[in-house]
Amino acid sequence: MSAAAVENQAAVSPESVFSTLQAFQATAVLGTAINLGVFDEIAAGQTGAAGVAAAIGAHEQGVRILLDALSAIGFLRVDGGDYRLTPVTETFLLREAPAYLGGLADVFFNDWQWQGHLALADAVRRGGTIGDEQNVETPSHPFWETFADAWTAASFPSAHAVAAILSPWAAARPSLEILDVACGSGIYGSTVAGDRQDARVTFLDWPNVLEHTRSHAERFGVAPRSTYLAGDMFDVELQGPYDVALASHVFHHFSPARCVALLRRVAAALKPGGRIAIHDFVKTGSDPAQEPVAALFSVIMLVRTVSGRSYALSDYQAMLAEAGFQPPAQHDIPGLPSRVLIAEVT
């Protein structure tokens, strides 16, 4: 090795290599703590390892190692031998907290997700998912039931952002008929409908998912103004006409051709002057380092879909134009990596 190479090796830190290869440990530590109910026991007053271990029925040494690891990655702090919740943990990881995000462990910390990513090399070689059991396009895939419930709290900021963006336009409409495509929990349609009593929402998703949507519609107070369409969004009769169609995190699952096909169906179901609101990870630049969430999300789509990925703004512009929409207006959401595109049907 040359002197220059030795000097360069000494100047460049390998920390990013180690931290990235070990990142799975942080996921396992947090997911395990959520599943065991560790944070709730600490909130209830069990601040020592022995007390937490007794409360969850686990070995004290194992619990202490877990608590120390949680402290190391910032979800607990140690105070004189006691473990305390951090503000982030108290806000987002207690089961009774309004903004509870612990349900996301069911989305990210499970055998299905981990096994899929262990097969990433095969997905890279193939250019898409390696089997039907991994393909989230499979009719009535059970993953979407988990997703509908787990992602609800995480969707509140973006759902309210979509509603706020549409509000001035929607207020001028004599009525408001909403189509929520691949609705999941239905939080987007419910939030856009809001307190407007003449607003009606049609929720579209697989039959097994709509069972969960109904319970959330009751919770959000829109059940009396709701209709449910069960089936494949590429085949089911969309009915309508609608003033606005909502599509949150939908198009990244499909190829451009499939996206255009869906957009054409939506366009045909809209009233004159109707709009589509697309909420997704929309890339606007050419440097993935500036938009890491979109770049990494494409990896999930590579593992989980036949040909999905995060799309750039230019991709959406082309797909929307081909499907009969005017050029979209782009809206950033402060504090979030996703964007909202609003396009009017021609």
Asked which of 46-50, 168-172, 277-281, 304-308 is least confident by mean pLDDT, the reply is: 304-308
Question: For the chain, how are helix, strand and coil distributed in percent, rounded to 5?
Answer: 55, 15, 30
The verdict on whether omega for the bond into residue 241 sits within 30 degrees of 0, i.e. cis, is: yes
Span 273-301, average pLDDT: 94
The pLDDT of residue 25 is 94
The pLDDT of residue 115 is 84
Q: In whole angstroms, what is the distance from residue 29 CA to residue 42 CA? A: 16
Q: What count of Cα atoms within 13 Å lies in the side-chain half-sphere of residue 12?
A: 9
Reported pTM: 0.89
Q: In whole angstroms, what is the distance from residue 159 CA to residue 246 CA? A: 10
Q: Which one has a higher pLDDT value, 202 or 219?
A: 202
- Given a cut of 70, is residue 6 above it in pLDDT? no
List domains and CATH numbers for the chain.
Answer: 3-103 (1.10.10.10), 143-344 (3.40.50.150)
Q: Is 237 left (phi over 0), alpha (psi -120 to 50) or beta?
A: beta
Give per-residue pLDDT as tens, 156-202: 999 999 999 999 999 999 999 999 999 999 999 999 999 899 999 99
Confidence class of residue 8 from pLDDT cuts 50, 70 and 90? Answer: low
Neighbours of 34 (CB within 10 A): 22
